Chains A and B, each alone.
Chain A
Amino acid sequence: MTEQSPAAMTELLNRMAAGDADAGARLLPVLYGELHALAGREMGGLAAKVTLQPTELIHEAWMRLVGGAPQSFENRSHFVGVAARAMRSVLVDHVRRRQAQKRGVDWLRIELDEVVDLFAERAPNLLALDEALERLSKMDAQLGRMVELRFFAGMSVEETAKILGVSEPTVVRGWRIARMWLRRELEV
């Protein structure tokens, strides 16, 4: 994966926002790298063999972003935050769809199913979590975003602090409180 300077990325984001599909395609790996820089480090042996490329999951998140109204992406952090929100909605939508319709298996479903299953180990009821998170965000927008970045986008404390522009201890404390509140709401 080629390294992208923040300036080059902002340029790509702006071009994408202006409807340049090629820019979007080139951004995709960058976005993926942002979201999973931490994952790559933690993968150890696996990471050496596998060059991560955008999955259909991220791709769909991307489509949601691009498909919406043009947004101005001031910087990577902002964008990653938006992507985390999109990932959340992709997953939650997928669970809803899975509940609504039983028949008709396609490849994207299989892949998303696996991802959802992975999340479900940590949050058995993704829909209830989504609703609780919605309530939390109303009371405390910062905690809401923190949960999105940490849980749905898999951001590290360090990344989350950077994206939210707060100190790492603030993230650690906030994250702990957010989980307390969510656990109580979900009774898990």
Chain B
Amino acid sequence: MDAARWDRVRSLLERVLDVEPSARAAWIAQACGADQELRADIETLLASDSHTSTLEPPDAAGLARILADCGAGQRVGPYELVRRLGEGGMGAVFLGRRIGADFEQEVAVKLIKRGMDTDDVLRQFQRERALLSSLEHPCIARLLDGGATSDGRPWFAMERIEGEPIDVWCAARALSIRARIALFLQVCSAVQHAHQRLIVHRDLKPSNVLVTADGTPKLLDFGIAKLLVADDGRPRTVAVERRLTPDYASPEQLRGEPVSTATDVYSLGILLYELLAGVQPFRDAADPLAARETPSRPSKQARRLEPAGPSERRIGSRLHRDLDTIALTALEPRVDRRYASVDALAADLRRHLEHLPIQARPATTAYRLSKFVARNRVAVATGSIVITALAAGLIAARAGYLEALEQGERARLRELDAKREALRANSVLELTRRMLSAASPHDVRDKDYTLRRLLDDFDSEAGDWRGEPDVEASVRQTMGVAYLSLGLLEPATRQLSRVLELLPQDSGDVALEAQLAWCDLLHSRADYTGGVERLDSIVARDPAPALLAAALCARGDALRHLGRYDESERDLDRALGLARGLQLPGARLVCNILNELGMTLIELDRRTDGETRMRECIELSRSTFGPRSELVATALNNLGLSMQARGELADAAQTLGEAAEIERELHGADHAGLGQILNNLGLVRIRSGDYAAARPLLEEALRIARSNLGPEHPNVATDLSTLATAHERLGDFAQAEEAFRECLAIRSKALGEEHADTLRALNNLGNLLGRRAKYDEAAELLQRCIEVRRRVLGPDDLALAASLSNLSGVLLNCDQMAEAESAAREAVSIYRARLGPAHVDLAAGLSNLSSVLLRKGDAPGAIAMLRETLEMREKLLDASHPDVSRDMTNLGQTLVEHGELDEGQALLAESLRLHRERGNAPKPTLARTLHWHAVAEERREHAETAEVEYREALELWRGMLGVAHANTRRTAIALVGLLERRGDAQNAQALRTEFQLPPTAKE
């Protein structure tokens, strides 16, 4: 109905209501006339006029009752209740204000439900009052007062806390597991504070743990439950009613048994479970007591919840077995199996955060050592990459050995005196234990120091392990391996050589174990020849299968480093066969062997086989040690590198990304291992031409390396070098130069002037300086590099070719044409000889040579070479690769310069399109492409397009190179010429001034 018609209906209705009911029908008939619709409207509306209460306003008294029942406005003790804040099993909580107070004091007033035995509650309150008010902890809401209302309901006033329940807080912020644990630890400290005063909370649950805006958890209702529940566990209530939230109650509470601090430990376990898994373990259980017998693991629950959201997914994957164990230990149905105190629970959580072994788990040596390796990975990485790789395997191999000791391997016990063996095992384990519990993991260098000092102390202090040669040998061997894993080769050598002295050559496998450790040391010193020699003699002695497999694995690794790939493969194959049949050390050794074998096969260029082994290693690790272990990350990294070498860049990026993710989850975002993987990933991105994606990865890798290894470590130099390359490709030459210089400085100092890595840095810096038009310094650096490379690496080395190629570009810019050409030709001939007809490096060399030919005036020769380059690169690289578009620009520019306008402009346009498509394409080539495309446009008399493109190029050049650079000036001159030809003298003059061009400058 529209408003006008309604107006009519309404006014008729108003009038008809004044008409006597008996006369209405006639009145309506007359008023509506022929409008039947209007008449029907009026009649039906009148029919719904009634005196029923429908649509009457609700009874105000009813509303008032609801409001009154919720207590607002009531006075309790000195407080007035303002409004209801919440509702619990025991009653409602109100915001209260102190009546007549000069200052606004807001409190939370808990008004207990009717039905409690008030006298009993109040008597208890009087008894506990002093104790409760002694609770002073930043995470505990203070109890202020208590009493009874005039109608006999008990009330308690507490410090008012504004916050969110802890579970809501965590979920809303998608807090990480670590952050959740940190928050939970604060809760633990508050509960422990109360326990020290013998106050048990008895009703810990998320709604009693509020987190304030500044992130502080606050525990509410401390001790209140005790006031409401009699000592026999039954509520102090007339009616039989369950007061406590059964979802969070301990089994003893559910059974109505006496409660103790262990009850709070249990409830904290449920809270922890819920924070970790995102779900309450016993919610809505039909039989709460039975459900508590078999709680499922939080990680399993978290995984089950995976579809629920990304935060759950992350949590599910991060839950470690440790956290499962901790939560389930707190949730032990039997009090005597639970953590004995909140402190014990908190301590284990802290140990977990610090990668220390937790107490709750039955400690096996393999487990402790796995934690040791995890915790010390940063330290391990302080050595070279080689040491890192070796140390992990080395520690793992020792794990089996120590496990055998710990379990008192029968055969050996028969051989040796049982008591002495026990002493040996105890001493070794004592040392292990100390190593594990020492050392804060927060600062790497500090940790090295601490752990090192611990080892040094153990070495110097008296101990009953001295005197018995083979016991002492075992202890020293453990110390030696530990030193080795820290990259401390000197003390490692001292210990291990002493071991060899202590053990007679014929003392069986024990001596061979020591020999094996010695070989690890030799490998750490890159003395693979010495290692192989010694390993030969170990293998010849035909030791027990476990030892033999470990020795063959070590020899296979060494042989690969020596380039003796066939022999390496043979050893590793044999080791694999042996290890697969073993109980101990089992899967870990098999995984190590598979990893080594994979790398050897890849070196043999049997990449498919190699990658198959890697995948097998990954699968076995996953099924044995869980989906995300160190071994998996290592193997994925190696697999990714192999894919990278095969040119499968997308697969490589994905695989390395997965490795990085695992690494991050295992060890956090600051771990050296992650840094290495990110560096590899950055390299893959660079190879894919995705420099913008590479740069943040490499910056992160560099940050990690610096913080772990200090600013002058060779690994830092590696990261700097890769990052500089990304800067360079993105056109950020100044940053690139800075990074290359720092890299060179580190390497010169750490590795010496003639080290291959130093020379590479020299070459890269020289090349970059050439691009920055610092030709003299560039030429000097490159010539120095070439001199050493030719002398050290020989005349046909590819690295030498690269430097020659770079030098030719620099010399070209110095107008030393003959030298430039000879350098470029030498480079191309090395490339052709070594790399065959199609290779990216050959393409680069050809591209360089073509520049020389152009400058010489040999345009047809140059164009032919540029065509060959472009074809080669189009075949080898993705169309979106920047090198392809650069070749297009090079060829297009040359063609335009030599009058082949059509083909030239088409190539430049295509290059421009590719540049624009990529978004953040390298700027120098873009600028050049713009310039030459503008040239072509200008020749076609498309002056406006040309001007726009010149200007864009000019801005790019100026940003990259400044106003004085030849490239900038060339574009500026071209633009000035265009403007002058168009008669725009004013703008032309402005440009001349801005770029300091002479009045009649010509190109």
Contact = CB atoms under 8 A, between A and B. Distances in A.
A123 B7 CA distance: 26
Interface string A63-84: 0000000000000000000000
A188 B72 CA distance: 35
Given A36-B60, A43-B61, A180-B49, A52 B73 contact: yes
B46 interface: yes
A43 B64 contact: yes
A112 to B, nearest CB: 10
A111 B84 CA distance: 10
Contacts of B54: 122-123, 179, 183, 188
Contacts of B53: 121-122
Interface in B1-52: 1-3, 6-7, 10, 13-14, 17, 44-50
A173 interface: yes
Given A51-B73, A119-B58, A180 B66 contact: no
Given A39-B64, A51-B73, A180-B13, A56 B84 contact: yes
B86 A140 contact: no
B60 A38 contact: yes
Interface residues of B, number: 44
Contact of A180 (B1, B48, B81): B48
A56 B64 contact: no
Given A173-B14, A176-B17, A176-B49, A107 B55 contact: no
B83 interface: yes
Given A53-B72, A180-B48, A184-B44, A47 B57 contact: no
B415 interface: no
> Which applies to chain A's interface (DSSP): helix, strand, loop or mixed?
helix
A33 interface: no
B864 interface: no
A119 B87 CA distance: 23
A166 interface: no
B61 A42 contact: yes
A110 interface: yes
A42 B61 CA distance: 7
Interface string A27-43: 00000000010111011
Contacts of B72: 52-55
A186 B85 CA distance: 37
Contacts of B6: 139-140
Contacts of A182: 55
Contacts of B48: 179-181, 183-184
Contacts of B49: 176, 179-180, 183
A55 B95 CA distance: 12
Contacts of B46: 180
Contact of A42 (B44, B47, B60, B73): B60
B854 interface: no
Contact of B82 (A53, A140, A154): A53
A59 B83 contact: yes
A151 B55 contact: yes
A127 interface: no
Interface in B82-104: 82-87, 92
B83 A118 contact: no
Chain A CB within 10 Å, residue with most, of B48, B60, B68, B73: B60
B59 interface: yes
Contacts of B310: none
Interface string A93-125: 000000000000011001100110011011100
Contact of A139 (B3, B13, B62, B67): B3
28 contacts: A39-B64, A46-B64, A50-B73, A53-B67, A53-B83, A54-B83, A55-B66, A55-B72, A55-B83, A59-B83, A107-B86, A110-B87, A115-B63, A118-B59, A122-B53, A122-B57, A143-B10, A154-B60, A173-B17, A177-B10, A177-B45, A179-B48, A179-B54, A180-B45, A182-B55, A183-B48, A183-B54, A183-B55
A150 interface: yes
